[in-house]
Amino acid sequence: MSEHLLQVDHLSITFGGLRAVDDVSLSIDRGELYGLIGPNGAGKTTVFNLLTGVYKPTEGIVRLDGQDITGHPTIEINRAGIARTFQNIRLFRGMSVIDNVKAALSREFSYSSVDSIFHTSKYRKVEKEMDKRAQELLEVFELGAHRDVLASNLPYGQQRKLEIARAMATTPKLLLLDEPAAGMNPNETAELMHTIALIRDRFDMTILLIEHDMKLVAGICERLTVLNFGRVLAQGETKAVLSDPEVIKAYLGDADN
Amino acid sequence: MTKLKRNHLFTYILVIAFYIAVEVMLRMGLLTSHLQGLLVPMVYYAIVAVGLNLCVGILGELSLGHAGFMCVGAFSSALFSNLTKETLPAAPRFLIAFVIGIAFAALFGFLIGIPVLRLKGDYLAIVTLAFGEIIKNIVNAVYLGTDENGVHISLKNAMGMGLVPEGKVLINGPMGITGTPRNANFTIAVIVLLIALFIVQNLIDSRDGRAIMSIRDNVIAAESIGIPVVRYKMLAFTISAAIAGAAGVLFAHNISTLQATSQYFGYNVSIMILVYVVLGGIGSIRGSVVAAMILYLLPEMLRGLNKYRMLIYSIVLIVIMIINWSPAIRSWREKTFGRKGRRQEA
């Protein structure tokens, strides 16, 4: 067991001549709710993509629970214990709500392709357990009543929740949420804050959150990293960071212009 | 019983009801011999459509070479049946012919899948299109025969094989394979269709099926929850090719001379099967069966109208497309039949 759950050292990636993420280091402790903020184009989502293996970093090391996962394939990183949601919701739109969750449970509740084709007794047993577990998860996110609805037919706020439920179904150690409040009205945002707090308490989850909504960030994150132009602008306790003049400048611009 | 399971059950019932209805009409002598001759082709095209829908509708990868897999299944099984028609009784021989035809089609599907399914984009469509044409042309060019000295093969002509006079020509170039025992019949074809439906529908309603559909709906999200994308693409595509191979076996054993002509195995046939799948509803297995049967039968039934045949056929295609996909009619259908989400009902 290492000290930090996630340890990122000097992470960088270059696209052509552009250093989209430049020497970013951060560490997240177990059970922490950590925020990653910054103006548009600061490289927040790129950091997520680096952490989850969508991009391979040019430099730097990512360690999860002491294990080096730098540049590993997405699937392996998910197995190691990182699950994520996406800024532009990526649900399995043609599948029902419960099937979205079951797809994510397929590693834990496993049977062979032969069982799949012949619907053997093992299939029936495992499917039953999987169904129960998926239903429980949906209940946590208050989606239980919509289990057979097509994912694309859910209202926006619930689609966000389903995406979180799906990520949670892979039993991660670390959950990455990419702008979960994007496009939500104040009511939905309030409900989302409640959901995030719930996940944290109920599953003892460590969460890394990208967010634009300052109110949401100030309300729930303990520590923050502020990115600007791919570099770390400020880092530390939420309150201190948010009152940092550099951060205010990056968000609101200089007094001169 | 879930909605999906009920839906799948209904498909089997529909096929069995159709089978009984046809059998009754056959007994009563209501079917002309022309119509009787169309029964087996109707069913094998339904089988390929089911297989192709697994690839196009469930996996979300476009294949334009399913006629090629049919061709592989047809020729490999016909070759076997011809070699063993004197030594093996009909029933086990036909069964083994199925195993061989399916295995070869699956093998080709697997081999094509290894490089192509790793790529993102429409490469599968391009490669399968080429594959279908290549296979057809290779089979057309090959002369194969056996005699006491073993197997002879030539790419020039029948003489080039150098067979002794008693030798047996198996594949006679563009003349194809003649004398394959006609073991296929309507009952066997329907049984194969039911097996294909059983495999595809069971697969959809399982862990593997959900993984395959998640890849169709969003590859990036599927990877993010730990689904091995290439593995499931290979699985679905190989099964899809194997089912087309089974249809090819029926084809070969329902025709006296098997030739690799464009009429039977060209890319236009692959497109025709794709039309069945699209108009039956992408991802709707039952739709594929119904559409394949109706749309295969229709141009044949319209032969009497000669000139206007293809005109009427194309109008029917347009009408079906409107009925199946127009939002107004879909919402009416949902209200009337209480169904939702075509894809889900698969």
Q: How high does pLDDT run on average in chain A?
A: 91
The arithmetic mean of pLDDT across residues B171-182, rounded, is: 91
B288/chain A closest Cα distance in angstroms? 18
In contact, A146 and A134? CB cutoff 8 Å: no
In contact, A103 and A90? CB cutoff 8 Å: no
Q: At what angle do helices A121-140 and A97-104 cross, to 10 degrees?
A: 110
pLDDT of residue B46: 98
Query: Following CA atoms B120, B244, B207, A77 in sequence, which dihedral angle do they give, to the nearest 10 degrees?
Result: -20
Q: How many CB atoms lie within 10 A of CB A238?
A: 19
- Write the CB contacts of B247 (distance below 8 Å, at least 6 apart in sequence): B44, B45, B47, B48, B51, B70, B73, B192
Query: Are A150 and B224 in contact (CB < 8 Å)?
Result: no
The residues on A that touch B, with CB distances below 8 Å, are 52, 54, 73-75, 78-79, 83-84, 86, 90-96, 99-100, 102-104, 106-107, 109-111, 113, 115-119, 123, 126-127, 130, 148, 150, 153, 166-167, 169-170
From the list A54, A83, A99, the residue facing B225 with the nearest CB is A83
Query: Following CA atoms A155, A156, A158, A161 in sequence, which dihedral angle do they give, to the nearest 10 degrees?
Result: 160
Domain boundary assignment for chain A: 6-94+160-252
- State yes or no: ipTM above 0.95: no
pLDDT of residue B342: 44
pLDDT of residue B345: 41
What's domain A6-94+160-252's superfamily in CATH? Answer: P-loop containing nucleotide triphosphate hydrolases (3.40.50.300)
Q: What's the angle, vertex CA B141, arms to CA B127 and CA B237, rounded to 5?
A: 25
Whole-structure pTM value: 0.91
The arithmetic mean of pLDDT across residues B329-342, rounded, is: 64
pLDDT of residue A256: 52
Residue numbers in A near B197 (CB within 8 A): none
Nearest CA to B141 among B101, B170, B175, B165? B175
- Write the CB contacts of B155 (distance below 8 Å, at least 6 apart in sequence): B141, B142, B143
In contact, B13 and B197? CB cutoff 8 Å: no
pLDDT per position as a tens digit, A75-101? 999 999 999 999 999 999 999 999 999
* Distance, CA of B280 to CA of B164 (rounded, Å): 52
Residue numbers in A near B213 (CB within 8 A): 92, 94-95, 99, 103
The alpha carbon dihedral of B16, B21, B22, B24 has a sign of positive
Instruction: Give contacts of B 236-275 with A, CB under 8 A.
Output: none
Domain boundary assignment for chain B: 3-27+38-345
pLDDT per position as a tens digit, B214-257? 999 999 999 999 999 999 999 999 999 999 999 999 999 999 99
3-state secondary structure A173-199: CEEEEECCCCCCCHHHHHHHHHHHHHH
